[in-house]
Amino acid sequence: METKFVTTIIADISDSTPFYEAMGDDQAQELIQIEIDRLREVLRRYGGVPVGQKGDDVLCYFSDPEAATNSVLEMIQKPPGTLLSVHAGAHQGPVVVGYNGIFGETVNLTARLAAVANPGEACISDSVVKDLSPETRRLLTAIGSLRLKGVSQPVKAYSVAASTEGLSTVMHLPTQSTGDILGRSQNENFALVLYHDDLTWRCREGGELKIGRSNQCDVILPEPWVSRFHAILSMKGGKLLLTDRSSSGTYVQFENAREVQLKRENIMLADSGLISPALPVLHADARPLEFEVVRR
């Protein structure tokens, strides 16, 4: 075994579990394997060294961080006719190269970055970005310092997303809402109710509300400073969670409590309070969403 200083990449198929449920095991596995083969071909073409596959992801390392980043940019783009999306993480540091793969903290941190990336997005650490050309850096959006699970120190990270229908996020300003009322049909002891303008949304056990600029969200906030998929409200096992999935963060203020900023993190909600994508709750332009936990 030997130690090398490299750029590591983990690329993973997004939301493969519901894909298996919808398509059936055989057809889903066939389509996923086609996508895995595409990812591995892209990595090889840019000079990467594939070193393993675990489930629906691929692990690879590069000696050149510029080539590694360019490969990520291609991997997260969805080819025509493909139903699957890819998310990825990239980090640079020392790894131990063994017979059965690569090992070490660099690999672990790469996996954490991939885990917080949205479908069609890559999260790239500052250790990689500092060695990129100015042209490539301009393609990235600074997320800030992320507190990643199992990592003692915050990690400065950047985001790059697959191109979409002209949607791009401006890193500033407020919220205004449109959207459809979403209800879940289960009888539960309590639910989370979300209010904005004259609209109301309700989330019960097993349900979720997607908040963002995309028309695929339940709560649509069309301003350009809101990310396409900014945050998710969900209820599972009696726990109400708000999870930030944005580039600019989400602010939460509970009643009579100080404000908290989330960056690719989640927080348990209780009682009532305010949620403000991108802007602090008290910002002059902010128009937060109100939430309330209602008990039967």
How far CA 217 is from CA of 30, 91, 230, in Å, comes to: 29, 30, 9
| Phi, psi angle pair for 279, to nearest 5° | -115, 145
Q: What is the pLDDT of residue 27?
A: 82
The H or E element spanning position 105 is helix 105-116
Distance CA 251, CA 248 (A): 10
- Over the stretch 102-118, which tens digit does the pLDDT of each residue have? 999 999 999 999 999 99
Q: Identify which has the larger pLDDT, 270 or 157.
A: 157
Kind plus residue range of the DSSP H or E element containing 41: helix 25-45
pLDDT band at 257 (very low <50, low <70, confident <90, very high): confident
pLDDT in tens, 137-181: 999 999 989 988 888 889 999 999 886 544 444 433 233 333 333
Average pLDDT of the residues in 43-55: 86
End-to-end CA distance of the chain: 61
If pLDDT is split at 50, 70 and 90, which confidence band does 284 have?
confident
Question: CA separation (Å) from 169 to 39, 145, 164, 230?
Answer: 27, 18, 11, 10
Q: Provide the residue count of the chain.
A: 296
Tokens 């902010």 label which residue? 286
Residue 182: its pLDDT value, please? 36
More confidently predicted of 91 and 26: 91
pLDDT value at residue 29: 84
- Please determine, for residue 255, whether its predicted confidence score (pLDDT) is greater than 70: yes
Which residues have C-beta within 8 Å of that of residue 198, sequence separation ≥ 6? none
CA distance 249 to 280: 10
pLDDT digits (tens, 9 = 90+) for 225-240: 899 899 999 988 888 8
Taken in order of first residue, the domains within the chain and their CATH numbers are 2-161 (3.30.70.1230), 178-295 (2.60.200.20)
Pairing of strands 57-62, 178-179: unpaired
Bridge partners for 194 per DSSP: 201, 291
Separation of alpha carbons 205 and 207, rounded Å: 6
Weakest mean pLDDT among 127-131, 144-148, 209-213, 236-240: 236-240
Q: 183-214: b or e for each residue (b if 16 or more CB lie within 10 Å)?
A: ebeeeeeebbbbebeebebebbbebebbbbbb
Q: What is the pTM of this model?
A: 0.73
Q: Which has the minimum average pLDDT: 14-18, 62-66, 200-204, 232-236? A: 14-18
Q: How many CA atoms are closer than 13 Å to the CA of 247, on its beta-carbon side?
A: 23
Q: Which range, of 138-152, 184-198, 242-256, averages the lowest pLDDT?
A: 184-198
